A and B are shown apart, each in its own frame.
Chain A
Amino acid sequence: MSTLTAPPSEARGARALAKRLSLHLDTLPTAAAVTIFIGMIVYGEAAYGRIVQFNTLSNLLINNAHLIILAVGLTFVILTGGIDLSVGAVIAFSSVAGVMLMNAGWDPWLAMGLMVLIGTAFGAASGVLIQYFHVQPFIATLAMMFLGRGLASILSTVPERLADDSPVRELGTQIKLYDGPKVNDVAITPGVIIAAVVVAAAFFVLHRTRTGRTVYAIGGSEQSAALMGLPVPATKMWVYIISGTLAGLAAVVYTARLGSAQNITGIGWELDAIAATVIGGTLLTGGAGFVLGSVVGALVLGLMNVLITRDGGIPPEATTIITGGILLVFVLLQRAVLARRRE
């Protein structure tokens, strides 16, 4: 299972997962996601071959690092019962702004820092709208989505290429960890390492800090959490700031891999990230879910694309239909779990 983060936290995560499985019904959707992921690998290997090999799995991680980072951010937001629709547009604005600044002569590292901070600023703005102006999360982040997309289009409507010698590209360079026969190598990029660190940090925050537990409590009952004396307003601000910041970080990772940025980058990615989170077992109403589940959810979506490409017979246009189908199955599964819990 190279799919789950860095080795030490993977073992801990897996153990914790197994322990929780025996106690909670909540884990059923996540377990189902893991099962489907494994099932897809087995099916892919049997039907098309060359799935269970180093380079395929490495590429799966490399190509989906940005989606994993986004899904982690969305997990925080959805756990509180909120939603963040702005992350795709934030990526567009952040990456176009970053690349243009670098091309204008800014220090690349400074520009990357700014790219992350642009995400933070968008998240903070959503948080303020939601927390202090009592705007629905859907509407507040929708407004931020249009704002981000619009700002990106004002900056440029053509692809902005990164200079070939830009140090940013190093974040997208593959590092061979194990040199296998032919091209069958175990390879990662700094982007994958960033995603792994993000996942590990998110796991720690959600399960080992009071802020993280407050996130779950808010999702269970915001009113109760407030009456328990938990810092509800601050925590709700934090989840949107985290989601925005991670969108900024995902912009850096994606731009580094692709080497260019465009104002139409990331259209619909917020929905991919939400789908990954939901497939990974996070309840859309909040209060239940796991960040590792969201990682699996992102990989399920990524693997699906690989399988469709390999099949060759399925038109690429059908991808979204299949995504929708999988999503529907998981949502129905969650309803069933909720109904069981109510009994």
Chain B
Amino acid sequence: MPESLPIVEMVGISIAFPGVKALDEVGLRLFPGEVHTLMGENGAGKSTLIKALTGVYKIDEGEIRIAGEPRRLGGTADAQNAGVSTVYQEVNLCPNLTIGENVMLGHEVRGAAGINWRATHRAARETLAKLGLGHLNPKHSLSALPLALQQLVAISRSMVARCKVLILDEPTSSLDANEVEQLFTVIRGLRDQGVAILFVSHFLDQVYAISDRLTVLRNGRFEGEYRTSELDRADLISKMIGKDIAALKSLDAKASRRVRTDDAPLYAAKGLSRKGAIEELDIELHRGEVVGLAGLLGSGRTELARLVYGADRPDTGEVTLGGEKTEITTPAKALARRIAFSSENRRDEGIVRDLSVRENLILAVQARRGWARPLPRREQDAIVAKYIAALGVRPADPERPIRLLSGGNQQKVLLGRWLATEPDVLILDEPTRGIDVGAKAEIQEYVSDLADEGLSVLFISSEIEEVVRQSDRIIVLKDHRKIAELEGGRDVSAESIVTIIAEDGLGDPSADTAVREEATA
């Protein structure tokens, strides 16, 4: 497409890691004044390609041309000098410094007496103002800002480095709708100034809202480059996963398939609460049922899950398990009573990076046995083989360090870790966050199968659609309290839940109680 010359051209890029070819002759072109989205499943090579462009990984074959000149990038500093800046999914700023310092680090204005702080802060203020962040005081501490604003501060930082190419690696994964819109306004502004933007996201809506061009990768290979307007969503997904999306659709059809068989709940908590985390509420989980927690970020979803699991100690509440009164105040007690919890924070609270897939998988089983009684190797292998096959972990190599697996496959291993403890109640906090469509469908399907087999699942996701699709019953949370409980069915949709959340506390108490009555009916 000859409209203008690309500012970045990556040609025939190959990168191999021990045992895997991460990228195989992949190409990418970025044009000034265009938003280009890199699409692909987890493990398709997106991160590897980005790291090649930012100088973190050395390329084995191929060439990177920036503004027409071949460049060898030896590190982040090199890439920044070449005009390539990156904003990562996890905000990579220094929380101990001020906003202004974070924006200007490495580019402080210097005078005869060293850094001229007045001029530096002025420059920071101007840069922030350009992105519509003029209200921020550069002298205030960064850590006081919400994540979304920190992300925008990170983008301001790349503006100071006068970048011509801005890479946004999943910048939206922890933002709410308003914040995403604010981010997009900034991105569009930069695009109009002629910056070439490389955008990575798993949210199709966002991809279609912001990007002009797409490059699709699959299994480390280049699938194609398309204009966004010329490729519809179904085709895009097919290209990403290499098969058609009937698998995904069938999941929707399965909704509301389960009928509750027992009347007595397996797990029931009355008046469960913890100061600052969740206000008093009742929650029941039945066998063979998926209960979804819906609510906005910060509504108390994770806090509730942690109370059920005993990761935090409840202040009040009476818990019965299988009809018997019990106390679950520590994770060890929860595990002993066959309640398992898979954390939303996969990286810090889930996987142990340097251990192998096998070691990660058996961790919970081993923990329950106690360290004095190591699990015999034969049993380990049996468990690991079973779950690698059942969950479709790829590559199916139990001895590979888990950090070398893609996010989706790490999540499958974690799921396997908890399933191996043969729980009665499984709490899944954001099991599908940041993983690709294919792995997501597999995990969703597997969760449904588990419920069919009689497991009781508490399912948490920030994507309300996903909660609706997956759950038999939905508890809606807002501002740390339960505002509704809905039986899954045809009349429950993401829209109706959003409406409930939006209308709650709007000064229309009748509507509110109506919902509650409907819920308890």
Closest Cβ–Cβ distance, residue A310 to chain B (whole Å) = 39
User: Would A227 and B114 count as touching, CB distance under 8 A?
Assistant: no
Q: Which of A68-76, A99-107, A115-123, A214-222 contacts B (4 or more CB under 8 A)?
A: A214-222
Q: B106 contacts the other chain (Cβ, under 8 Å)?
A: yes
The interface stretch among B95-103, B231-239, B464-472 is B95-103
Q: Is B47 an interface residue (CB 8 A)?
A: no
Choice from B86, B94, B141 contacting A216 with Cβ under 8 Å:
B94
Within 8 A of A (CB), among B386-440: none
A219: nearest residue on chain B (CB-CB)? B96
Q: Is the CB of A230 within 8 A of B105?
A: yes
| Among B75, B92, B115, contact of A208 (Cβ-Cβ < 8 Å) | B115
Residues of A within 8 A of B200 (CB): none
* Closest-CB distance, B521 to chain A (whole angstroms): 40
- Bound Cα distance A287, B105 (Å): 14
**Chain B 67-124 interface residues, beta-carbon cutoff 8 Å to A:** 75-77, 79-80, 86, 88, 92-98, 101, 105-106, 108, 110, 113-115
Establish whether residues A213 and B101, one from each chain, have CB atoms under 8 Å apart when the complex forms: yes
Query: Is residue B193 within 8 Å, beta carbon to beta carbon, of the partner chain?
Result: no
**Chain A: interface secondary structure?**
helix
Query: Bound complex: CA of A32 vs CA of B157, how far in Å?
Result: 34
Residue pair B101, A227 in contact (C-beta under 8 Å): no
Task: Knowing A217-B94, A225-B94, say if A210 contacts B106 (CB, 8 Å).
Answer: yes
Residue of A nearest to B76 (CB): A229
CB closest chain-A residue, reference B114? A208
B157's nearest neighbour on chain A, judged by CB, is: A228
- Rounded to whole angstroms, the CA-CA distance of A23 and B97 in the bound complex is 11
A109 contact set on B, CB distance < 8 A = none
Known pairs A209-B114, A228-B157, A229-B106; A220 contacts B77 (CB<8 A): no
Shortest distance between the CB of A222 and any CB in chain B (Å) = 10
Residue of A nearest to B88 (CB): A227
Q: Does B139 contact A (CB under 8 A)?
A: yes
The distance in angstroms between the C-alpha atoms of A224 and B102, with both chains bound, is 10
- Interfacial chain A residues near B157, Cβ < 8 Å: 228
Within residues 221 to 250 of chain B, which ones have a CB less than 8 A from any CB in chain A? Answer: none
> Which one, B79, B93, B161, contacts A224 given CB within 8 A?
B93
The answer to the question of A110 belonging to the interface, with a C-beta cut-off of 8 Å to chain B, is no
Q: Do B94 and A341 touch (CB < 8 A)? A: no
Out of B95, B114, B139, which one reaches A220, CB within 8 Å?
B95
Q: How many Å lie between the Cα of A167 and that of B238 in the bound state?
A: 84
A216 B80 Cβ-Cβ under 8 A: no
> Do residues B94 and A221 form an inter-chain contact, with CB atoms below 8 A?
yes
Instruction: Please provide the chain B residues from 25 to 82 with a CB less than 8 Å away from any CB of chain A in the complex.
Output: 75-77, 79-80
Residues of chain A in range 202-240 having any CB-CB distance to chain B below 8 Å: 204, 207-210, 213-214, 216-217, 219-221, 223-231
Q: Which of A187-215 contact B (CB under 8 A)?
A: 204, 207-210, 213-214
- Given contacts A26-B96, A208-B115, whether A227 and B105 have CB atoms under 8 Å apart is no
Task: Report whether A341 and B143 are in contact in the complex, using a CB–CB cutoff of 8 Å.
Answer: yes
Task: Tell me if A264 is interfacial: C-beta within 8 Å of chain B.
Answer: no
Q: Does A24 contact B (CB under 8 A)?
A: yes
Q: How far is the CA of A74 from the CA of B95 in the complex (A)?
A: 22
Bound state CA distance, A197 and B407, in angstroms?
A: 53
Q: CA–CA, A229 to B114, complex, Å?
A: 20
Residue pair A209, B115 in contact (C-beta under 8 Å): yes
Is B140's beta carbon under 8 Å from chain A? yes
- Give the distance in Å from the alpha carbon of A221 to the alpha carbon of B95 in the complex: 8
List B contacts of A288 (CB < 8 A).
96
Known: A216-B94, A220-B94. Contact between A230 and B140, CB under 8 A? no
Contacts of A208 in B (CB 8 A): 113-115
Contacts of A221 in B (CB 8 A): 92-95
Tell me the bound Cα distance from A210 to B114 in angstroms: 9
Judge whether B106 and A24 touch: CB under 8 Å. Answer: no
Complex CA gap A227/B94 in Å reads: 11
Question: CB-CB < 8 A to A24: which residues of B?
Answer: 141
B92 contacts across to A, CB distance below 8 A: 221, 223-224, 227-228
Closest to A26 in B: B96
**Set of chain B residues within 8 Å of A25, measured between Cβ atoms:** 141
Whether the Cβ atoms of B96 and A231 lie closer than 8 Å is no
Interfacial chain B residues near A287, Cβ < 8 Å: 94, 96-97
Q: List 8 A-B pairs, minimum CB-CB distance, nearest first.
A: A208-B114, A220-B94, A287-B96, A220-B96, A224-B92, A229-B77, A229-B80, A227-B92
Given contacts A220-B94, A220-B95, A229-B79, 6 further A-B contacts (CB under 8 A): A213-B108, A220-B96, A227-B88, A229-B80, A229-B106, A230-B77
Binding site for A on B (CB under 8 A): 75-77, 79-80, 86, 88, 92-98, 101, 105-106, 108, 110, 113-115, 139-141, 143, 157, 161
13 inter-chain pairs at a CB distance below 8 angstroms, sorted by A residue, are: A204-B114, A209-B115, A214-B106, A220-B95, A221-B92, A221-B95, A224-B93, A227-B76, A228-B76, A228-B106, A229-B161, A230-B77, A287-B97
